[in-house]
Structure 1
Amino acid sequence: MKKRWVSWWIANVIWIALFAIGTFVVWTREVDGAGVTQTPELKLVAFIVLLIASIIPLAIQLVWMMINLKSGRAS
């Protein structure tokens, strides 16, 4: 496996871990940083915001994967 693929997998693992940790924090907290008690609806909204924010790294990872695939075929 080439270095660029190893880097890609490491970056993926980091992003998945960050998303999992963020999800765990959102679903287990009782009170947020502003002191608002978290209801299931507010937890869902916070999760959706986290999900939307994770779209940017996902797009970057997909472009990186396509570059790796194209450069792998060329060599």
Structure 2
Amino acid sequence: MENLTASLVVTVIGMSVIFAVLAILYVSILSLERIFPYKAPAETAGDNTETVAVIQAAITAYLKRRPADTDTRSIK
């Protein structure tokens, strides 16, 4: 009978330790969310004509071709 009592005590202590660790983790995550709020990334998708022109010029310069020789098509 004393083995049963000892095993129950060990089980309760183990569960208490796990609960305490999870509670500390939960509180620390909540505090980090308040300190460092989530900021949505900037919207960068789309065809900005200036960006497309710069990329095309870079590709043309890398390939050592004339700008008229490069073919640019929409990715969509």
- What range describes the TM-score normalised by the shorter chain of this pair? 0.3 to 0.5
The normalised TM-score by structure 2 is 0.38
The normalised TM-score by structure 1 is 0.39
In terms of Rg, which structure is larger? 2
Instruction: Compare relative contact order (CA 8 Å, sep 6+) and give the higher one, 1 or 2.
Output: 1
